[in-house]
């Protein structure tokens, strides 16, 4: 089922979808990951026009970070990933993620734009924390929920959030989608709209449209054209280099073997083992895991070539694992868990093995997920993540706007200080 409403933007129609089943995978993916084709099992191919699109962005003197964000393949915004969350009951109205995806369509029905959006009655599974805003508004007599969330559920990874087809002006499409989010808030009684882990280009554009701008911090590893892990180590200060070598030795000292599993190599036995690890971590962090066992089977069926499991085995049994998703130039670390605790095994599976895989496969970076200043000593440097917020109530909006101004300054100062104290040799 879907609702639709006309918009003045080039006589386009804005449709509100009640789930990913209301749009075909080809239509959604054509605007979510333009220039890329997903084949069976997540096999990825590139449209020949893609190269010229990249060259155009580069010719406009866009920062390299922005070029990558706008042109790379991101598995999380694919129809295959988002529909897997819905079909297995992970992101539904029952779990507090009621799909309200946007489609911007031409008068002839062509897809001009889209956005993954959800009406929410809580703030869990987002990784951009607004609980304080909700509490303050409640104390002032307001109702913060429902709110509208534009994001990938349970996934703190930067990527495009408001998808605009190359067949229309990008700014025009952004304006239409941003206005559509406000319309959903008005229609549903939502207090606010939140677009999280969006690209810098989107963040800048939404700021110009009156959305409040927020920043936060993650730690990412950048591939400086390394040919091997030893090449990466050679870039580090001597003390940090020695510490990492020691951690890697100790991580596997109890007879632990590590393997990479991806594509056709993934089996239900792997997912059974990994889900045990994930349940342990999820129960301790959130009270219950956000993802169910069925999700892993379905997303593996659809995106196996875009998945990497790093599994640790001891005495013939799997004892720990880390789940990663593979973009066109980025390895995204997502979940980890274990049934046995060994010193530094977490660092080995989640950080060092990810670096190894990125180097071997020519990936530009590793995004290791939310939080974790401990990643700094392991070669992951602080980067700025972004979100944009539309708040209906003027009083709450003014209070949040003032808070965010100070928060942005604090994030910038901390990122600069941490980068200065990073593990790399000075002068590089």
249 and 391 assigned to the same domain: no
CA distance 226 to 230: 8
209 and 224 assigned to the same domain: no
CA distance 420 to 428: 12
In a domain, 428, yes or no: no
If you average pLDDT over every residue of the chain, what do you get? 93
The widest CA-to-CA distance across the chain, in whole angstroms, is 65
In a domain, 427, yes or no: no
Of the listed ranges 103-107, 273-277, 279-283, 367-371, the least confidently predicted one is 279-283
224 and 200 assigned to the same domain: no
Give the structural domain span for 338. Answer: 220-383
Three state DSSP letters for 229-283 = HHHHHHCECHHHHHHHHHHHHHHCCCCEEEEEEEHHHCCHHHHHHHHHHHHHHHH
The CATH code of the domain that includes 91 is 3.40.630.30
- Average pLDDT of the residues in 154-178: 97
Give pTM, 2 decimals: 0.94
The pLDDT of residue 428 is 46
188 and 323 assigned to the same domain: no
In a domain, 297, yes or no: yes
211 and 297 assigned to the same domain: no
In a domain, 294, yes or no: yes
Does position 265 have pLDDT exceeding 90, yes or no? yes
263 and 371 assigned to the same domain: yes
The pLDDT of residue 2 is 56
176 and 301 assigned to the same domain: no
In a domain, 426, yes or no: no
126 and 225 assigned to the same domain: no
192 and 231 assigned to the same domain: no
pLDDT in tens, 287-320: 678 999 999 999 999 999 999 999 999 999 999 9
pLDDT in tens, 326-360: 999 999 999 999 999 999 999 999 999 999 999 99
108 and 200 assigned to the same domain: yes
410 and 378 assigned to the same domain: no
In a domain, 235, yes or no: yes
Q: Quick check: 320 and 277 in contact, CB under 8 A?
A: yes
368 and 400 assigned to the same domain: no
- Residue 427's pLDDT band (boundaries 50, 70, 90)? low
Q: Between 251 and 372, whose confidence is greater?
A: 251
Domain count, the chain: 2
In a domain, 85, yes or no: yes
In a domain, 195, yes or no: yes
């Amino acid at each position: 089922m879907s609702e639709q409403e006309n918009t003045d933007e080039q006589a386009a129609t804005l449709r509100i979808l009640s789930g990913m089943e209301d749009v075909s995978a080809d239509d959604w993916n054509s605007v979510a990951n333009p220039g890329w084709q997903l084949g069976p099992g997540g096999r990825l191919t590139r449209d020949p026009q893609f190269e010229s699109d990249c060259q155009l962005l580069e010719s406009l003197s866009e920062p390299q970070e922005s070029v990558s964000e706008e042109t790379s393949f991101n598995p999380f915004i694919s129809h295959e990933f988002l529909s897997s969350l819905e079909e297995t009951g992970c992101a539904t109205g029952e779990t507090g993620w009621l799909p309200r995806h946007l489609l911007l369509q031409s008068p002839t029905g062509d897809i001009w734009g889209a956005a993954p959006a959800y009406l929410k009655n809580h703030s869990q599974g987002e990784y951009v924390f607004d609980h304080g805003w909700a509490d303050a508004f409640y104390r002032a007599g307001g109702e913060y929920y429902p709110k509208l969330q534009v994001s990938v559920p349970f996934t703190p990874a930067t990527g495009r959030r408001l998808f605009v087809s190359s067949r229309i002006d990008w700014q025009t499409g952004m304006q239409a989608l941003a206005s559509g989010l406000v319309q959903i808030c008005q229609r549903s009684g939502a207090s606010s709209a939140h677009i999280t882990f969006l690209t810098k280009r989107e963040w800048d554009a939404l700021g110009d449209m009156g959305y409040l701008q927020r920043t936060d911090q993650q730690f990412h590893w950048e591939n400086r054209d390394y040919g091997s892990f030893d090449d990466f180590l050679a870039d580090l200060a001597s003390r940090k280099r020695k510490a990492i070598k020691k951690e890697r030795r100790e991580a596997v000292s109890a007879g632990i073997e590590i393997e990479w599993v991806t594509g056709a190599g993934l089996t239900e036995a792997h997912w059974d083992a990994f889900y045990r690890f994930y349940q342990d971590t999820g129960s301790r962090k959130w009270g219950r895991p956000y993802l169910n066992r069925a999700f892993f089977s379905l997303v593996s069926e659809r995106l196996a070539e875009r998945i990497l499991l790093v599994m640790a085995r001891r005495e013939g049994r799997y004892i720990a694992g880390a789940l990663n998703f593979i973009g066109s130039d980025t390895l995204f670390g997502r979940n980890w868990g274990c049934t046995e605790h060994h010193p530094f095994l977490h660092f080995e599976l989640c950080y060092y093995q990810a670096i190894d895989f990125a180097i071997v496969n020519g990936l530009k970076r590793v995004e290791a997920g939310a939080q974790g200043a401990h990643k700094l000593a392991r070669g992951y440097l602080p980067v700025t993540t972004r979100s944009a917020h539309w708040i209906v109530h003027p009083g709450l909006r003014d209070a949040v706007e003032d808070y965010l101004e100070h928060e942005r300054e604090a994030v910038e100062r901390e990122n600069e200080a941490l980068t200065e104290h990073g593990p790399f040799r000075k002068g590089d």
